[in-house]
Amino acid sequence: MAAEPVALIHVTDVQRLTPHMVRIGFAGDGLDDFPTWPDQQLKLLFPRPGQAAPRLPDVPADGDQMRWYQAFLALPEDERPWLRSYTVRSYDPVRQRLTVDFVLHGSAPADDPASGPATRWAATAKTGDTLARYGPSALYARPLPLGTADWLLLAGDETALPAIGSLVEALPPGARALACVEVADAAEEQHLTTEADLTVHWVHRDGAPPGSGDALPAAVRALTFPAGAPFAWLAG
């Protein structure tokens, strides 16, 4: 079966990586032939209160995604699922499972009114819960960001960590990369697996809210860059 543009997906496992990062595995239709690449965007649709699964319009027989999206926007607002962009952290073609890492924003994510619907959902997710996915589209597939560069600079906050993790895992042996990642504190650091020559610098906010200061740009400016031409990948 070819990858379907819109389909329901079901939680298969939940793993708390750090106090504010949870990894959730999904199964569902269309995952037997799922296009995948590093730094892969996927849109997730979250059910409204009282819904066991997101309400979705039918996919047109010709697969026209724009007409589907117009039908999606025509749903009543109190029934229309929340739509958010995430990164595919990994895909297992043997088990036909995809994995997404969710940052849990707020001090008590499940109850904090400042937390968004995606954070509230992920904070209490359990096996069997249902979301929907929109995409991914192979139109957005990109090669590894190396090209003719001699080394790779990666910088971002915790929301960029899933993409950074997928990028460094795909780097070949001999590639060189520097990563500078801003997180709340030492408890939010993660181990990044790669065959490349990777150096990671962790930047701690230590109580400051995300994006409130110059800590990450200052840390990047303080790096000692390798010789040669770099390619920079920045996100947040």
Q: In the numeric block, which tokens belong to residue 36?
A: 């995948």
Average pLDDT over residues 84-92: 94
**Residue 211 confidence class, pLDDT cut points 50, 70, 90:** low
Beta-sheet pairing, 151-157 with 230-235: parallel
Domain with CATH 2.40.30.10 in the chain: 6-140
The answer to whether 49 and 217 are in contact (CB under 8 A) is no
| pTM greater than 0.85 (yes/no) | yes
Task: Return the H-helix or E-strand segment holding 73.
Answer: helix 65-73
Q: DSSP 3-state assignment of 29?
A: coil
Give the C-alpha separation, 133 to 54, whole Å: 10
Average pLDDT over residues 83-105: 94
**Fold (topology level) of 151-235:** Rossmann fold (3.40.50)
Handedness of CA 144, 224, 213, 109 (dihedral sign): positive
**Residue 87 confidence class, pLDDT cut points 50, 70, 90:** very high
Which of 56-60, 171-175, 212-216 is most confident? 171-175
**Fold (topology level) of 6-140:** Elongation Factor Tu (Ef-tu); domain 3 (2.40.30)
pLDDT at 105 (0 to 100): 87
Q: Which of 137, 140, 94, 128 is nearest to 2 (CA)?
A: 137
Gyration radius from the chain CA atoms = 19
Domain with CATH 3.40.50.80 in the chain: 151-235
